[in-house]
Amino acid sequence: MELKPYQQQVINDLDKFLEYVNTYQDSAKAFNQFWEDKVGKYQVKLDGSFSGMKPYKNNIPGATHIAVKVPTAGGKTFIACNALSSIFKSFDASKPKAVVWLVPWSNLLQQTVGHLSNPTHPYREKLNALFGNRVEVLEKEQLLQGAGFNPTSVQEQLNIFVFNFSSIRINSRKKDDRKVYEQNGALEQFRGFVDNDLVIEETDETALINVIRSLNPVVVVDESHNAESDLSVEMLNNLNPSFVLDLTATPKENSNIISFVNAMALKKEHMVKLPVIVYNHHKKEEVITSALHLQRQLELLALEEEKVTGKYIRPIILFQAQSNIKGKDNTTYIHIKEQLTKLKIPEEQIKIKVSGLDELKGIDLMAKDCEVRYIITVNALKEGWDCPNAYILASLADKSSAVDVEQILGRVLRQPYVTKHQTPLLNLSFVLSASSKFQETLDNIVKALQESGFSKDDYYAEEEPEPELTDNEVLQSELFGESEPKQTDDDTPRAVDEIEVDEIDFNPETELTPDQIGNTNDIVKQITQKGETEGKSFEQKAESYTEDNTDYLLREMGKEPKKYKIEEPFVDVVSDIEIPQFYRKVPKDELHDTILFEELTQNEQLLNRNSLLNGFKLASKSTEINFDDTATEVFQVDYNETKHTATMQKLSTRAKTILVDTILAKPKETQIKEITSLIVRKLGDMTPISHEDITKYVSRVFEDLNNDQIRDIINNEFLYIRKIKDKVKELENEYAKEQFQLLLDTNNIMVKPSFKFPPELTHINLCSPINKSLYEREASVNNFEQRVIMDIASLENVLFWHRNLEKGKGFALNGFKNDHYPDFIIYTQNGNLILIETKGDHLDNDDSRAKNLLGKKWAEKSGDNYKYFMVFETKDVPDTYTAQSIIDVVRML
């Protein structure tokens, strides 16, 4: 199981943030600079609004405390498994890999323990791959008994301790939970290991809480929006964490968010059933009728699809009941079950899941032999209850009530098999209600979507038209109000919450053939037709979604994104402009290996750098790396280290000595193998280089190490990792450049018209208004860039200019470099398109030279009307221009 693109972006954001922490050695400085570089400086304006990201909140002194915002069903747990690797890579290698994984509820605890412990589950498989199969997952009882938990084990493997919040809160009144703070003979072997300065007042050093505190653990807080109270903050401080990672769909105000995930990204990757189709009926009996017919239709469609795909789906209805019937001892959920059985629905297909009654316990709802199709609940289905087969939420609340779906809507959003199903209706969720307060119901649905990390744009709603009344019915209603409730056979008044089985039009024993699907109920036919239409529109939006989520980021920061259109005089001009990019000819045998869909089997594809690395073998490349200057860098890092900065908090000299001595006691071959393994694990994903290839290469780099060098690597691994990464990138660049030129010379790389200017753009930070800009407003520029573009814009022959955007939103020069986004695109009266890349004088380096070479190759292949110029401020650099000399060049074009 690999990371989805949006999940990988979260890890990329985390890695980037950790680089800032390593640079600034201070969590607050790192966080503030991380966001300032991304969205500009934080400033409060006179009207109370602000620009930039609010500063770091030091909630847990001594620890780096950050959050990632991922909608429900976005795979937060899997993201966290991958994040642990990034976090521990930023620590000293000798730090014990201890993780406290906190969850708010016992059912979520059991689910988490089960997934992280099961060797065949994707979560555990990923942890094993990242941590060399040295992973142990322990619950509170195992820790209290010292089972598999001792001073040796905490040094040799990743240890994940799973607790619910109440187990750690020190003022808990539950006797069992207090054991975490009590003296513990089973942990006597930790006496002496525990730092006395960390022992909580009035507790023994063998108390489990003190052992954990001495490990200075990484803390993962699942559903962290439930851990914002003073007690919960105290709980986190009691753990003495080095790093706290919050996982939530709805971060609180004091969260330090480093990464946002847009719900549209989940839809694009088929993680969720969106949009939600909402339909409001007149009566609860109609809700039940529609729900039953819709469930049967979905199940028949699923059976037909299973014949083709082999994937089994059994759609489930969640019936949401009132808590009780007024004036009766009975409860509505019991009543609903009774009414469903009167319809001849088999009782084994109906289960109740409410507080105090859990008929789902021990049942695998995904199993093919499971009979459950109907689950009756109130509001007890909190996070942690997981069944992608749940498709329909049917609310049977009072007609006079707005439907409260906050707690359970998220249970119908998860997509079975995380794949797009051939049948459109199997990609949607449904909410059926009968509320006279439909607008309030919709408000609650929006709130529920927001609580799950989604938005008001992710549902479609419709209400059943009012029935046509006879003249007598109109008079009755207008003159005397609504008619009396229908009387039952014994002439007793009908209870407000009573359900009339006779009014439910459904027979479960009626057999339908595939050609009858969708023709059994008019309302369901209307719902499904609307669902297919809205689903198709939503799919198109999802497909066009890119990982550049500027609009979403702005909304999350409390701003409504403003879109800037192309200026009217240029609309017709740019409609005819299609800027060339590099394409490569793809061999037929490679097409058959990589293309999944027939319509994509073209023999020319947009060039990307990884395709140029086919055949690259790192293990045979040069291992000459200069490590001689590490001592100076180490001194500077240690000298600038700020007290209480958690991420780079060094462990004791004793702990390092133990690790070094352990390695040096082994044979030379084993020493090299262990040091190699240590560094390779921390290098991370080096795609397209295989794990085997990078391991062989690092082993060659280290093959002649002496004892002092081994000690130095363990003490300063971050510097060695950086130098090895830099060397590998250098070797990749050399190979990619050679392959690029070879393919150009053999006509296997060509340019084709590709990029068109989008009709409108959103910018986080704006450039000052400058004449002849292509869009109403352009993105921000620095002082040097502004001087250059103002001079160019003043030239008579320049028609328009544009500040090119990065990260997939603007025009990229693709080739042997990772995509290069030139700063400006200029278009002249003579139809010349010019790319300009500005560089400060200090940036005369290999990277700039490579970009300049790529730009010149692009211009050469694109034709006489295309130009690329690199512009330095004042420095004369071969094959480039200065800010002064570029003006004359552009003037002549």
What's the pLDDT at 882? 94
Query: Is 837 a domain residue?
Result: yes
Query: Is the model more confident about 875 or about 398?
Result: 875
The pLDDT confidence band at residue 520, using thresholds 50, 70 and 90, is: low
Please indicate, yes or no, if residue 186 is contained in any of the structural domains: yes
Q: Above 80 in pLDDT, residue 402?
A: no
Residue 595, pLDDT above cutoff 50: no
Total Cβ atoms within 10 A of residue 198? 16
The overall average pLDDT reported for the chain is 79
Q: Which of 147-161, 513-527, 543-557, 616-630 has the lowest mean pLDDT?
A: 543-557
How many distinct structural domains can be found in the chain? 4
Segment 256-265, tens digit of pLDDT: 999 888 777 8
Lowest mean pLDDT among 37-41, 774-778, 785-789: 37-41
Cβ neighbours, 10 Å, residue 546: 14
Compute the average pLDDT of residues 104-121.
85
Q: Which of 448, 482, 516 represents a domain boundary (last residue)?
A: 482
Selected residue with higher pLDDT from 668 and 66: 66
246 in Cβ contact with 1 (< 8 Å): no
Residues 400 and 355 in one domain: yes
583, 622, 580: which is closest to 740 by C-alpha? Answer: 583
Asked, for residue 556, whether it belongs to a domain, the answer is: no
Picking from 680, 699, 732, the residue at the C-terminal end of a domain is 732
Distance CA 112, CA 89 (A): 24
Over residues 425-478, the pLDDT tens digits come to: 998 888 888 776 666 656 666 666 665 666 566 666 666 665 555 555 544 544
Cβ atoms 701, 723 nearer than 8 A: no
Domain end point (choices 482, 514, 533): 482
122 within a domain of the structure (yes/no): yes
Q: Are β-strands 135-139 and 50-51 bridged in parallel, bridged antiparallel, or unpaired?
A: unpaired
The amino acid at 422: Q
Q: What percent of the chain has pLDDT over 70?
A: 77
Exposed e or buried b per residue across 219-249, where buried means at least 16 C-beta atoms within 10 angstroms of its C-beta:
bbbbbbbbbbeeebeebbbbbbbbbbbbbbb
- Whether the per-residue pLDDT at 98 is higher than 70: the answer is yes
Is 254 found in the same domain as 332?
A: no
In a domain, 463, yes or no: yes
Range of the domain at 164: 62-261
| Dist. CA 260–CA 258, nearest whole Å | 7
What average pLDDT score do residues 559-572 get?
A: 85
C-alpha neighbours within 13 Å on the C-beta side of residue 660 = 19
Residues 200 and 296 occupy one common structural domain: no
> Do residues 344 and 367 make contact, with C-beta atoms less than 8 angstroms apart?
no
What does the pLDDT read at residue 540?
Answer: 77
The H-assigned helical ranges of 410-482 are 438-451, 471-480
Q: What pLDDT sits at residue 532? A: 84
Distance CA 483, CA 470 (A): 14
Residue 371 lies in a domain: yes
Range of weakest confidence among 107-121, 373-387, 776-790, 865-879: 373-387
**Looking up tokens 């009307």, which residue turns up?**
865
Residue 485 has pLDDT above 50, yes or no: no
Q: In this predicted structure, what is the pLDDT of residue 438?
A: 60
Specify the residue for token string 């105090």.
356
**For range 510-529, the mean pLDDT:** 75
Residue 833 has pLDDT above 70, yes or no: yes
Q: What is the CATH number of the domain that holds 464?
A: 3.40.50.300
Residue 104 falls inside a structural domain: yes
Instruction: Say whether pLDDT at 865 is over 80.
Output: yes
Quote the CA–CA distance of 454 and 638 in Å, as a whole number: 44
pLDDT the model gives residue 883: 92
**700 and 766: one domain?**
no
Calpha distance 536→586 (Å, rounded): 32
Rg (CA), the chain: 32
Q: How confident is the model at residue 494 (pLDDT cuts 50, 70, 90)?
A: very low
| Global pTM value | 0.69
More confident residue, 775 or 817: 775
* Across 166-179, average pLDDT: 61
* Judgement on whether residues 324 and 453 belong to the same structural domain of the protein: yes
Model confidence band, residue 801 (pLDDT cutoffs 50, 70, 90): very high
- 321 plus 430 within the same structural domain: yes
Span 771-782, average pLDDT = 91
763 and 728 in a common domain: no
Judgement on whether residues 204 and 245 belong to the same structural domain of the protein: yes
Highest mean pLDDT among 323-337, 487-501, 631-645 belongs to 323-337
